[in-house]
Amino acid sequence: MNIRLIAATGLAALGVATLAACSSGEEGENGESAGTGGSDQACTNEIVNEDATQVLVWAWYPSFEPVVDLFNETHDDVQVCWTNAGQGNDEYSKFSTAIEAGSGAPDVIMLEAEVLSSFTIRDALVDLTEYGVNDIEGDYTEGAWSDVKSGDAVYAVPVDGGPMGMLYRKDIFDEYGIEVPETWEDFAVAAEALKDAGAPGVLADFPTNGRAYNQALFAQAGSVPFEYDSAQPQEISIEVNDQGAKDVNAYWADLVDRGLVATDDAFAADYNTKLVDGSYAVYIAAAWGPGYLAGLSDAEPDAQWRAAPVPQWDLANPVQINWGGSTFAVTSQAENPEAAALVAKEIFGTEEAWKIGIEEAALFPLWTPILESDYFADLEYPFFDGQQINRDVFLEAAAGYEGFTFSPFQNYAYDQLTEELFAMVEGQKSSDQALDDLQATLVQYANDQGFTVN
Amino acid sequence: METTTSPARAKAGSAQHPGTVARRRQRVGWLFVSPFLLIFVIFLVVPLGYAFYMSLFTSTLAAGKSFTGADNYIKAFTDPIFLEGMARVGFFALVMIPLQIGIALLAALVLDTLATKLSKASRLLIFAPYAIPVVIGALMWGFLYSPRFGPATTIFEVFGMQAPEFLSANLIFGSLVNIVTWQWSGYYMIVIYAALRSIDASIYEAARVDGATGTQIALRIKVPMISSSMVMVLIFAIIGTLQFFTEPVVLRNIAPGAIDAAFTPNMYAYALAFQYSQFNYASTIAFSLGILVFIGSYIFLYFTRKQSGLEK
């Protein structure tokens, strides 16, 4: 009896976990079957040259197939075999399990910059400097390169970024006579004005599960939560409750208290609906935000979206921030790291590939030949009534971004941040207390994990 | 059992080499059992052993892996997050199990006395939620609870009231209880109903001749006679509740604030293993949960050994 019970516990948990993992896609637009790992599996795409070395790639970019086809048609010796192993955490869970198991990881994997050090600390990624990655450093912005670099090692090739801007509903702003805010002070005034004018919605949302979004807001006021260098992987500095973070948190807690912003959970069904039905007049978003919005159903047909720079704390010294953005890394399980590195470097290394990425998948390039081209600056976006949003907003945001250091246990840090912010908006904790508690929890965790915390 | 084995034994005893025959029979027996044993060992014993082996080590991000023996277990049983999760599922069990079994028993008793076509249809309808996969059921309720898509907002507006926020931290407990009760009551009802149908109808007749009312028949005759089925249903419910996982995981996508990553012990083990890469400690948590489930079921079976028929 006992063995059956315990086994049932484990089996039920595993079976159910798989189901839950399948059903938890946040953006849910890519319904392709997820791969199970292992290099002998079928590819989603067609292989053009059967005799060439095959490189297994996990990635979840929208409209990625034409990019893969383009690579395979232009390369005789190396072919990409692509699988969508799930988005974000779904993919990371599979990769993490493959690392633990010692097999089953792909050769090349799409990783967001924020989780790179979580995997380098487990020796899961290959240092690409051996494979000539430094030759292409000049093709990327400084901030983008610093995100993939740790010490002298480079663990990934940047692909797309998430420089942040402010998307707003011009029709709502016009209807209630709201000025487009340039500073956070203006932003609070606008939030109050909108409410006083009797608008049914609010100015914006403060999602407690915003994770990278909340962190980016803190960073804008100078918060540097982590100092970590994988050259000294056992040392870390943690200061998630520094003054910058506390100021920003107090600012939002005040808006929440006064009922001027919503506190819906990001990426949940209600949030998605409210994004497009006018319940929020502003969506503080990354450059991939317009693509996300356009993919949501039930948008108001007469909604007029515009893009503006993200509000600043000090207009004289603007600080640009980043939310998301992904890279290609080569895993330490790759059979042929050289071929894998070639794929990581070259798959998004042509103008043709980037035009697909920009036009079909709404990616924001970090590859300077296209980022700095007239083509990209002049691009008119029908979603914004033809506004040249890159020229107006995102190019400057991308240029001003200087990089960011994440912790080697970022997923845990985010989960704890979510819990603390939730306790704050529920009125259980003050904004300072929430961050102080977060600091204590993370220091404790880092100590338990064997780090020397400075 | 007695009647079938004794002639066989008698025959074996009359043979010339009783020992060899018995041994040969044993060998044939093992042959029949071996396919099951093979699967049992490969898919249950080995993974369990491996999980236990893993739970004896500690691997940290910065300091690597080391053998720590029972340290993980000491850590688990003093870990406030794990204990809080256990307390939470314990509370769930206290509320949810009586509710589910109560509804199931009531429905079964009512259906048992009805002999109309309507009873067949009702039986099917009450059972229907169980036929819906748990994940789908939870997703569906998630939408029903939603303040924007759900019907509650509209219904409450008719009476000029504001709908409760089913997915808020305060109400999530009740919302989860509702989903599980909705899903499982029908299943328990079918088990109880089947047990009721196997009771000889002449007993009721005798009771009625003795002047028993319908309620008396139900409570004094029917319920005691199906007590072994009731115990079985209860043990299912206890194990299921302590392992609570799917519904909160699905609702977590809609209400990540109200349901944290370690809401139940099973979710905690899952998060540890697949999100925080702490496979060793996750094995410990899973094993500790298994131990507690075993102890809980054992205690329950011990106290209900008369009713369950385990001990005459």
Question: CB B148 to CB A93 under 8 A?
Answer: no
- Cβ separation of B149 and A273 shorter than 8 Å? yes
Most A CBs within 10 A among B260, B274, B280, B297, hence the mutation to make, goes to B274
DSSP label at residue A391: I
Residues of B in contact with A208 (CB under 8 A): 256-257
> Average of pLDDT values for B286-299?
93
pLDDT digits (tens, 9 = 90+) for A164-203: 999 999 999 999 999 999 999 999 999 999 999 999 999 9
| Tens-digit pLDDT profile for residues B77-106 | 999 999 999 999 999 999 999 999 999 999
Question: In chain A, what residues touch B254 (CB-CB under 8 Å)?
Answer: 265, 268-270
Chain center to CA of A402 = 16
Name the helix (H) or strand (E) containing A81.
Answer: strand A78-83
- Structure confidence at residue A410 (pLDDT): 94
CB B107 within 8 A of CB B184: no
Residue A454 to chain B, least CA–CA distance (Å)? 14
User: Is-contact A70 A353, C-beta < 8 A?
Assistant: yes
- Note the pLDDT of residue A384: 92
What SS3 class is residue B225?
helix
**Digit-coded pLDDT (tens) for A368-384:** 999 999 999 999 998 89
Q: Beta A261-262 vs A204-205: how paired, if at all? A: parallel
Q: Note the pLDDT of residue B3.
A: 44
Of A165-174, A297-306, A344-353, which range is least confident?
Answer: A297-306
Contacts of A99 in chain B (CB under 8 A): 277
pLDDT tens per residue across span A146-162: 999 988 899 999 999 99
**A418: chain B residues, CB-CB within 8 Å:** 256-257, 260
Of A76, A80, A78, the closest CA to residue A110 belongs to: A80
Does residue B152 carry a pLDDT above 90? Answer: no
Taking the C-alpha atoms of residue B138 and residue A302, their distance in angstroms, rounded to an integer, is 34
- Does the pLDDT of residue B76 top 50, yes or no? yes
Q: How far apart are CA B261 and CA A76, in angstroms?
A: 46
Closest residue on chain B to A24 (Cα) = B253
Contacts of A5 in chain B (CB under 8 A): 239, 290, 293-294, 297
How far away is chain B from the Cα of A67, in angstroms, using its nearest Cα? 30
- In this prediction the pTM is 0.85
DSSP helix/strand/coil, A160: strand
Would you tell me which CATH number, out of the four given (3.40.350.10, 3.40.190.10, 3.40.50.170, 3.40.190.80), belongs to the domain A3-160+325-389?
3.40.190.10
Nearest CA in chain A to B58: A449
